[in-house]
Structure 1
C-alpha cells in the first residue's frame, strides 16, 4: 500500500529513527533556520563557537546516531553546497566532527558538480530522508529556510527515483575530512 501523508513534528522525530538498515539524507538548502541552532550559529559566526553537544536537541541527535551505529545501522548524508560555502554551510562543516564521531557518514558535493552530473535541477529543491530504500520523508522549506512541512511517501516510483539520486550523489561526492573511504 502506498502512502503519502504529512507528518507532525513529533511524528517526524519518531519516523526518522524507524529504519532497519539505512537512513540517507540529501541536503540541498543553502541554510537552515532551526530554532535550536540559533544561539550556537550566532556564536559560531561571532568566532566564539560553543560545543554542539551542549544543545539538548543536538546531544539527543548524536546519542541516537551512536545507538544506530552500535546496532550496525548506517546513517549517511550528502550535503550539496555552494562554492564558496554560505555561512551556514561553513557552520555545518564545523559540526562534522560531532556527527562523524557519533557514527554518521558525511559527504559533500558542490552545487556546480550536482548540476554537471544532472542531480540538479532534476532532484528539485526539497531535502529528504530515504529510509531503508523504501520510505521517503520529504522536507519542505519556505524562502526563509524554515522547515514548514514533512511528508512521508512510500510510492514505489518516487522512492526508486530517490534511490537513483542517492546513488548518483554518493558516487560523485567526497567524504568530510576526518573520514576514510572504508566507511
Structure 2
C-alpha cells in the first residue's frame, strides 16, 4: 500500500515559497542531489495542490521547466482543485474532492510513495491523519515572507521521529516519520 510523503524544499526561515508563491529563490539550489535522485524512483504518483500546479517554477528557463522534479520524474499526477479545466495534459488528473484525489493517487502509486506537493494539500493530509513521512530539503537561504511549510491557525502538535539526516550539495535533508 502506498505511503503518503510530504517532500518540500524550505528556506532556513521556514518558507516553501516566497511572497505570492515566488519560487525564484530556489533556482540557485536545484542542482543534483543524491537524496532526490533516490527518491524519484520511489515516487509512484503525485498529489498536488492547484496553486502549486499553476505556480511559479524554480526550473523556469531550463529544460525541466513545468516538469515534476525538474523533469526527473514522470507519472500520474492528481491535482486537487475546485477549478477543473475542460482539457488536461496526459497523466494529469484534476479532481475536485479530497477523498477521491487521495484514493486515486494511492491507487496509482501502488507500493510506492504518493508525493504531496503544496502546503494546503499537505495541511489537509496532515489534518486527516494521512501523512506517513515528511522530507524537508533545508536550503541555506532566508527569504523573510511567503508560504510556510505547515500553517495551522491556533496551532497543533504533530510529533515526528527522525529517520535520517543527509547532506546534499545545496541542502541539508531531514527525513521524518509521523508518529501516530
TM-score relative to the length of structure 2: 0.34
With CA pairs under 8 Å and 6+ residues apart, which has the higher RCO, 1 or 2? 2
More strand by share: 2
- TM-score relative to the length of structure 1: 0.34
